[in-house]
Amino acid sequence: MKHARPLRAAVAALLLTVGLGAVHAGVASAVPLPGPAAAPSASAGLLDAMRRDLGLTASQAEERLSAEKAAAAVEKTARQAAGDAYGGSWYEPSTGRLVVAVTDRGQESEVRALGAATRLVRHSAAALDRAKAGLDTLRAPTGVAGWHVDPRTNSVVVTVVRSEREVPAVRAFVDRARAGGPVTVVETAQAPRTYAAGTVGGDPYYTGNVRCSIGFSVYGGFVTAGHCGQAGAAVRGWDGSAMGTFQGSSFPGNDYAYVGIHSGWWTVPVVLGWGTIPDQLVRGSAEAPVGASICRSGSTTHWHCGTVLAKNETVNYSQGAVYQMTKTSVCAEGGDSGGSFLSGDQAQGVTSGGWGNCSSGGQTWFQPINEILGRYGLTLHTA
């Protein structure tokens, strides 16, 4: 086993392969984790983070977490109730309810009976998905940052870099997009980029000269971002010692990877709070709806929160497009790649990239966790 080093918290010290730089010590045996009895109420630290990043009071944050949990529970049933008329759904913070778009007024009563609000729209989610799929077959110029289906505007949103909007190749891409279905064009100040970083001491894991963050523990290892390393690449832990090997990796197209760990390292269902909040237990991977609050932990900028802005977005990195990403208002910086996105105690995905920073703000995308688990046949380690 590895020698212990000074620890900032007893639990964090023992999480050798958990979230975002949790590899800070080794001991002779694992410490028992709390049992999965009743899920704990939101910690004071989590409420503080939501207050800082979302502008909520503690009571507002508690109410929002409760309402989002209820909205996530009803989303699947509401989709089934709407049937072919389903036009997408999102959480509306102002009302604390899930909103379900429908193309047929006759389906509204069934959806409302489930506790969701409804909005009548022209285009079904299936039709918008087909329009987006058509864009996914195109090669986008660098001035196009990405595109996704937005249920709130009932269109495919194409995001372009403001300074390149009038570039002929960008205008041609937008024209082709509009020919394939309803399109809304929005601008961004910067193009997205991945969040890998050069090697610096004391961080969670390294491969080659790249530092990244651990995402979530799975039985046998952990998941992280694909751009952090290729299959077969060796992984070193916080102290430079052998930690494991990339068993699978995909980037671009996807941005996910699975690292198998060596003996001397183990997995636990915890994500580091970095002293901002208590370390968080992971209890499942139920997907949060658009509009829900979400928080991220990473080895560079630690713990930050925001909201889910869009799902199934195609992100156009300089290395190539990555599909089926989730867009958030959470900030991140270099070295946060691969880190954990959580909604409450539910795993959401691993940090991929974005734009901006945690001083001036920005946006970050993640690769959904359930897709990664299914791709590699992995089981999430939960409390």
192-230 pLDDT, tens per residue? 998 766 443 335 899 988 999 999 999 999 999 999 999
Residue whose tokens read 């979530």:
216
Evaluate if residue 11 carries a pLDDT over 60: no
pLDDT value at residue 44: 79
Evaluate if residue 26 carries a pLDDT over 60: no
Q: What are residue 228's phi and psi, to 5 degrees?
A: -80, -20
**Residue 316 amino acid letter:** N
Catalytic residue among 53, 150, 203, 255: 255
> pLDDT tens digits for 257-306?
999 998 788 888 989 888 888 888 999 999 999 999 999 999 999 999 99
Share of the chain above pLDDT 70, in %: 87
Tell me if 219 sits within 8 A of 267, measured CB to CB. Answer: yes
Catalytic residue among 123, 148, 227, 304: 227
> pLDDT tens digits for 69-122?
999 999 999 999 999 999 999 999 999 999 999 999 999 999 999 999 999 999
pLDDT value at residue 237: 81
Query: Which residues does residue 357 pair with via DSSP β-bridges, in sequence order?
Result: 361
Q: Which residue has the higher pLDDT, 147 or 38?
A: 147
Q: Verify whether residue 255 is a known catalytic residue.
A: yes
pLDDT value at residue 46: 84
> pLDDT tens digits for 27-55?
222 223 334 434 445 777 788 889 899 99
Catalytic residue among 329, 337, 340, 352: 337
Q: Verify whether residue 227 is a known catalytic residue.
A: yes
